[in-house]
A and B are shown apart, each in its own frame.
Chain A
Amino acid sequence: MVMCTPAQWPDDGGAADPERPAGSVPSSRPVDLGSVGTRQAVRDHWLRRLGLQRRLHDGASLQISALVPRLGVVRKQLSDDEDGVRLSIDDLQDQLHTVLQELREVSREIYPPLLDQAGLGPALCEFADRVAVPLRVVAPAERFGPEVEGAVYFAVTQCLALLEAGGPPVEVVVRREGKVLVVSLDGVPARHAVQVLSQVQGLGGQVGVAEGPGSGTITVRIPCA
């Protein structure tokens, strides 16, 4: 198996050892808390976003959805001469749908529910609707954890959102190489690599580019368990 762990990446075993007795941290050499702390902070960041998205769904969204059939029951109880009230209820139900659609949009921007529920492949496929050029996605069904999936999803989608209509088709391929998740974006301008890097560097991700005629390939490598 090829091990492509970047030099900066701490070994999983040494990152946080619960077996280590309290107070036994050696003082004779510097403890590399830099990258460990960053990784934990990035993980917390994604878990917080995921938690907020789930809370929006389990709380506000479900409560609003439940109001709609209740209004339908009220509408059914109206007498024949109350058409005005009937129209008001129709209008209120339409507005509740609009509110829910807005909440869905916000949820998607915080942490896409489909990414949480089904992983990178389905979530990226669903995003194809929002991309100006034809998009093909190849991804394994395997799950990689909320922070890696979140970072990869937003790295890829923010890059794809920059593409203009009329450009070449793009292929996104997600695959595992040992303990590294490799994502290649084929058919995108190499200049978008900066956007991609900003999303993944907190997780020790690296970004490489290859220029092609008209468009290139951006390759992302992120350590994963």
Chain B
Amino acid sequence: MRVALAEDGALFREGLLMLLEAAGHEVVGSTADGDALVELLDTEPADVAILDIRMPPGPDGGLVTAERLRALHADMGLLFLSHYAESHYLMRILQIGTEAIGYRLKEKVGSVDVLSDTLARIRAGEIVIEPVLAKRLVEHPRGERKGAVESLSPRELDVLRLMAEGRSNNGIAAQLFVTPKAVEKHIASIFGKLRLAEDATEHHRRVLAVLTYLRAQRDED
């Protein structure tokens, strides 16, 4: 896969660069800020751009840069790596796009397998969300959502957590060692209990529905 990287911390940038190369990806370039990344991608196409959130230009330069990149290269995947897994940033990321986009903690993409899996899912158009954050969203739904989420069975909570990570039905089935058919059943039950309209055809819409549900208050900001 062709990957471009922008990260202002030299140590982490170098480490990630080495890992990307060890994983067999072609790194078309790495920069220390967003503007340089935009310039780079002007001439060097990439499948996925990896961006730090907190880097120049400005305090949240990664987000500003990603907005420009989405407008310039609609098909290119975006992976945000950050030191913080906060729902505040997740909601801002989902405003940039809800397809081919990911948000993960820097230290959680430290193996060839996880890094390549994350990049492959983004390239395939999925949303990828840091499991630590997805878990927090599911365990601490906001306000009036609490009661509905508490009505879910432990297994349904597992499924909801994996859905919030952006996993597909097959991905959830593999994680839980059950059949995709069983996952579908759980999801139908979850959507019923949460009174969400189920849209089985569009994976990213389903993830979005889950996230919006878990962070309802954010829309009122």
Contacts A65-B106, A69-B12, A97-B107; is A121 near B112 (CB within 8 Å)?
no
**Cβ contact within 8 Å between B83 and A65:** yes
A75 contacts the other chain (CB 8 A): yes
B59-112 contacts to A, CB under 8 A, are 59-60, 83-84, 86-88, 105-112
In angstroms, how far is the closest chain B Cβ from the Cβ of A82?
15
Contacts of A69 on B, CB cut-off 8 Å? 12, 15-16, 18-19, 109-110
In angstroms, how far is the closest chain A Cβ from the Cβ of B111?
Answer: 5
Interface residues on A, range: 35 or more
Main SS of chain A's interface residues?
Answer: helix
Contact of B106 among A68, A129, A135 (CB under 8 A): A68
Which one of B11, B83, B87 contacts A126 once the chains associate, using CB atoms below 8 Å? B87
Centre residue among B11, B14, B111, B132 by max chain A CB count within 10 A: B111
- Chain A 73-101, CB-CB to B under 8 Å as 1, else 0, gives 10111000000000000100100110011
Residues from chain B with Cβ under 8 Å of A75 in the complex: 111-112
Encoded as 1 (CB less than 8 Å from any B CB) or 0, chain A from 111 to 151 comes to: 00110011001100110111000111100000000000000
Decide: A90 and B9 in contact? CB cutoff 8 A. Answer: no
A169 within 8 A of B: yes
Alpha-carbon separation in the docked complex, A130 to B111 (Å)? 31
A57 located at the interface, meaning its Cβ lies under 8 Å from any Cβ of chain B in the complex: yes
Residue of B nearest to A61 (CB): B83
Which candidate, B30-38, B136-144, B165-173, B191-199, is the interface stretch facing chain A? Answer: B136-144
Looking at chain B's contact residues, the main secondary structure is helix
One of A62, A72, A73, A118 near B11 (C-beta < 8 A): A62
Q: CB distance A125 to B12 under 8 Å?
A: no
Q: Which residues of A contact B12 (CB under 8 A)?
A: 62, 65-66, 69
Q: Is the CB of A125 within 8 A of B88?
A: yes
**B15 in complex: contacting residue of A66, A76, A114, CB < 8 Å:** A66
Q: Does A64 have its Cβ within 8 Å of any Cβ on chain B?
A: yes
Asked if B143 and A134 make an inter-chain contact with CB atoms under 8 angstroms apart, the answer reads yes
| Contact of A65 with B107 at beta-carbon distance under 8 Å, contacts A72-B19, A73-B19, A114-B84 already known | yes
Q: Which residues of A contact B115 (CB under 8 A)?
A: 72
Q: For B140, what are the chain A residues with a Cβ–Cβ distance below 8 Å?
A: 128-130
Q: Is the Cβ of A96 less than 8 Å from the Cβ of B217?
A: no
Question: A140-177: contact bitstring with B at CB < 8 Å (1 yes, 0 no)?
Answer: 00000000000000000000000000000100000000
- Known contacts A76-B23, A100-B107; 11 additional CB pairs below 8 A are A57-B83, A68-B106, A69-B12, A69-B109, A69-B110, A90-B111, A100-B105, A126-B87, A129-B136, A130-B140, A135-B143
The 7 A-B pairs with the shortest beta carbon distances in the complex, nearest first, are A68-B110, A134-B143, A66-B11, A69-B15, A129-B140, A69-B19, A68-B107
* Chain B interface (Cβ < 8 Å from any Cβ of A): 9, 11-12, 14-16, 18-19, 22-23, 54, 59-60, 83-84, 86-88, 105-112, 115, 132, 136, 140, 142-144, 146, 217-218, 221
18 CB contacts below 8 A, A to B, read: A65-B83, A66-B15, A68-B106, A69-B15, A72-B111, A72-B112, A73-B22, A76-B112, A90-B111, A97-B108, A101-B132, A114-B84, A117-B60, A125-B217, A129-B140, A134-B142, A169-B143, A169-B144
